[in-house]
Amino acid sequence: MSSPLSKPQIIAHIQKSLNYTIFDSKWIPCSAKFVSLGNFARGTGVMQIYEVQHGEAQLIKEVEKPKPIKCATFGATSLQQRHIATGDFDGNLNIWNLEVPEVPVYSVKAHKEIVNSIDGVGGLGIGDGAPEIVTGSRDGTVKLWDPRQRDSPVANMEPVEGETKRDCWTVAFGHAFNDQDRCVCAGYDNGDIKLFDLRNMSLRWETNIKNGVCCVEFDRKDINMNKLVATSLEGKFHVFDMRTQHPTKGFASVSEKAHKSTIWQVRHLPQNRDIFMTAGGAGNLHLWKYEYPAERSKKDSDDVDMGVAGSVNLLQNVTLSTQPIASLDWSPDKQGLCVCSGFDQTVRVLIVTKLNVV
């Protein structure tokens, strides 16, 4: 019988109260610094850089922006530059050099409405091929951007004429395991999940999980698609096994109702793709481990391969706040270090222990 202490523990290492609403927080790669982004009550945007020193988060830099900032990614930058790409409430995609964050190094009016979600690939040594950024917006479109190409997107995935535009809440890159292949997954307010194949510029797969899709993430961006987690409004999440696609049944999945309210975020541990954390609307975090089945595929009655879903085990959970935790980011460099922020205007640095023994 294992004692409770042999399980991973989620420890709130640093808590910092802020004077604005935080929408996203991200570790700066290869550093002990993180960026916190959001909006002041007066309606302007804010970007802050903190450094973790001696158990404190020290504010290093603060810049005010004209528009509130909703989301950010380092996924398309090099480790040398470490430029952050952000999406704001006015539909702008900006890329900032954090050494001189006053003026963007790249700026484009990406969408007609708020940029809800952003992801990057091809940077930080993760994912083969060119650096690219994907944005998803309330205007119903998902757009692909090359930071080296100004003004116009590389691809625009939008509803065909006559189709209703759904609010796109979340986007994520995956399948970037060689120079040609790459996929984008998008989740919408009506429960739709769409998988776009960027190599063939086609819709590869779609499904509906009956509830608004708050967050989607592949367990790794830079491998042949392995798993995809999608979280939803009603406290449920789904794990899809992306290795075997059946012509009619699609991908096998397992679902778990973990939180009593919306699951805002899911983030896989960079050092172990089978461990992930979900962040909930009641201020709680749940740490999960995915267990693979004995065999990941089987033949159906027509002798066609179909996937077999595994199971998820809860490793640990903790309640940090009474308000939703809306962003979560694992440190890419230090296993178990993570930054999260919520609508209680607090940013927290957490330490998750014993991740190497689960």
Instruction: Kindly state whether residue 235 falls inside one of the protein's structural domains.
Output: yes
Instruction: Kindly state whether residue 283 falls inside one of the protein's structural domains.
Output: yes
Instruction: Kindly state whether residue 10 falls inside one of the protein's structural domains.
Output: no
51 burial level (CB within 10 Å; 0-12, 13-18, 19+): middle
Closest CA to 165 of 141, 132, 186: 141
pLDDT at 1: 46
Distance CA 56, CA 217 (A): 30
Output the CA–CA distances (angstroms, integers) from residue 265 to 284, 293, 307, in the order listed.
Answer: 11, 25, 25
Bridge-based pairing state of the strands 45-53 and 56-65: antiparallel
Instruction: Kindly state whether residue 281 falls inside one of the protein's structural domains.
Output: yes
Instruction: Kindly state whether residue 218 falls inside one of the protein's structural domains.
Output: yes
Instruction: Kindly state whether residue 143 falls inside one of the protein's structural domains.
Output: yes
Instruction: Kindly state whether residue 14 falls inside one of the protein's structural domains.
Output: no
pLDDT tens for the chain, 358 residues: list them: 456 668 999 999 999 999 999 999 999 999 999 999 999 999 999 999 999 999 899 999 999 999 999 999 999 998 888 999 999 999 999 999 999 999 999 999 999 999 999 999 988 677 777 899 999 999 999 999 999 888 899 999 988 777 888 999 999 999 988 888 999 999 999 999 999 999 999 999 999 999 999 999 999 999 999 999 999 998 999 999 999 999 999 999 999 987 688 999 999 999 999 999 999 989 999 999 999 999 999 998 888 999 999 999 999 999 999 999 999 999 999 999 999 999 999 999 999 999 987 6
Residues spanned by the domain of 301: 19-353
Instruction: Kindly state whether residue 305 falls inside one of the protein's structural domains.
Output: yes
Bridge-based pairing state of the strands 236-246 and 250-257: antiparallel
Total number of domains in the chain: 1
pTM: 0.94
Tell me the CATH number at 345: 2.130.10.10
